[in-house]
Amino acid sequence: MELKGAVALVTGASEGIGRAIAEALVHEGARVTITGRREKELRAAAQEVGAEWFAGDVGVEADAVRTVRTVIERHGRLDILVNNAGYGIFKPLVDTTLEELEAMYRTNVFGPFLMAREAARQFIRQGSGELINIASTSSLKGSASRTAYGSSKFALRGMTECWRDELRRHNVRVMLVNPSEVMTEFAAKAGSPREASDKKLRPKEIADAIIGALKIDSRGFVPEFSVFATNPF
pLDDT tens profile 53-111: 999 999 999 999 999 999 999 999 999 999 999 999 999 999 999 999 999 999 999 99
Give the pairing of strands 7-11 and 80-83: parallel
Q: Of residues 113, 149, 154, 186, which has the active-site annotation?
A: 149
Indicate whether 165 belongs to any domain.
yes
The CATH number of the domain where 144 resides is what? 3.40.50.720
Task: Say if residue 187's pLDDT is above 70.
Answer: no
Give the pairing of strands 80-83 and 52-55: unpaired
Indicate whether 83 belongs to any domain.
yes
Indicate whether 36 belongs to any domain.
yes
Interatomic CA distance for residues 231 and 76, integer angstroms = 44
Indicate whether 1 belongs to any domain.
no
pTM over 0.85: yes
The tens digit of pLDDT for each residue in 120-167 reads 999 999 999 999 999 999 999 999 999 999 999 999 999 999 999 999
Up-side HSE of residue 162: CA atoms within 13 Å toward CB? 10
Indicate whether 218 belongs to any domain.
yes
Task: Say if residue 178's pLDDT is above 80.
Answer: yes
Across the chain, mean pLDDT equals 96
Indicate whether 188 belongs to any domain.
yes
The number of folded domains in the chain is: 1
Indicate whether 232 belongs to any domain.
no
Indicate whether 179 belongs to any domain.
yes
Q: Is 149 an active-site residue?
A: yes
Residue type, 178: N
Q: 173, exposed or middle or buried, with CB in 10 Å at 0-12, 13-18, 19+?
A: buried
Expressed as residue numbers, the domain containing 112 is 7-227
Specify whether the CB–CB gap between 224 and 12 falls below 8 A: no
Specify whether the CB–CB gap between 120 and 167 falls below 8 A: yes
